[in-house]
């Protein structure tokens, strides 16, 4: 994921300072397999493994945790926790909270997997598809601009423009289908029917590309 940096979980034997990672707390050892399992899934999605570890720590915690708590549990430096929490909040995977009488922020997990997936698809996959649509349009315009006026279009020119137009149509349909499927409100019959219609159009357009 753009903008994320590497987070290290390496344990050290010396006493920790505010900027150094410490060894994870001993009582977290039985939970570590669960932390790693979610870290693997998050990494598969293209995020840093540490984001999954933090989410799972919060999910298994009966109370909200501060950044210092998270660092102590997982053996992470202050900087690593800060960067990770910033990204987790950006993607809506954790939620910031406060406690009366405390100046610290505390964090709890988003527990709706559907909402989490919807936000990621909306803010990353659909965003990338929209960028691709603009790029395809620019490429088609560039081809049309280089074609000399007053001369008959060549077969290669016509073929390229036609293919770009159809590919753009496919990407637009795919983006709209994702937007409908991963909206945060529950799916209803109307939405399902729209997705089915898009699927039919998608298959028709794919056939035209062959």
* Residue carrying structure tokens 């409100």: 185
| Among candidate residues 113, 116, 42, 23, the one with its CA nearest the CA of residue 54 | 42
Rounded CA separation 89/200 (Å): 37
Rounded distance between C-alpha atoms, residue 38 and residue 171, angstroms: 31
Q: Which residues contact 179 (CB under 8 A, 6 or more apart)?
A: 122, 126
Residue whose tokens read 């349909």: 173
pTM across the whole model: 0.65
- DSSP 3-state of 13: coil
Q: Are 82 and 66 in contact (CB under 8 A)?
A: no
- Closest by Cα among 117, 133, 105, 134 to 178: 117
Q: How far apart are the first and last CA of the chain?
A: 33
Q: What is the CA radius of gyration of the chain?
A: 24
Distance CA(168)–CA(132), nearest Å, equals 8
Q: How far apart are CA 124 and CA 133, in angstroms?
A: 14
Which element (helix H / strand E) includes 98? strand 94-98
* Calpha distance 107→97 (Å, rounded): 6
pLDDT tens series, the chain, 210 aa: 444 333 333 433 333 444 444 555 555 677 888 999 999 988 988 899 999 999 999 999 999 999 999 999 999 999 999 999 999 999 989 999 988 888 899 999 999 888 888 888 888 888 888 999 999 999 888 887 776 666 677 888 888 888 888 888 888 888 888 888 777 666 677 777 777 777 777 777 666 655
Give CA–CA dist 19/71, Å, rounded. Answer: 10
């Amino acid at each position: 994921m753009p903008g994320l940096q590497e987070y290290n979980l390496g344990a050290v034997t010396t006493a920790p300072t505010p900027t150094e990672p410490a060894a994870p707390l001993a009582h977290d050892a039985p939970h570590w397999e669960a932390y790693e399992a979610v870290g693997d899934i998050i990494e598969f999605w293209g995020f840093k493994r540490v984001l999954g570890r933090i989410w799972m720590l919060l999910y298994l915690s009966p109370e909200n945790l501060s950044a210092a708590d998270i660092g102590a549990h997982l053996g992470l430096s202050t900087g690593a926790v800060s960067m990770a929490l910033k990204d987790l909040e950006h993607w809506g995977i954790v939620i910031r909270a406060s406690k009366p009488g405390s100046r610290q922020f505390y964090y709890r997990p988003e527990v709706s997997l559907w909402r989490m997936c919807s936000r990621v698809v909306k803010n990353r996959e659909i965003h990338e598809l929209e960028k691709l649509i603009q790029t395809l349009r620019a490429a088609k315009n560039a081809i049309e601009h280089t074609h000399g006026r007053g001369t008959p279009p060549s077969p290669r020119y016509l073929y390229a423009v036609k293919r770009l137009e159809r590919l753009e149509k496919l990407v637009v349909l795919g983006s709209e289908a994702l937007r409908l499927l991963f909206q945060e409100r529950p799916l209803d019959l109307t939405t399902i029917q729209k997705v089915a219609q898009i699927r039919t159009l998608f298959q028709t357009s794919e056939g035209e590309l062959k």
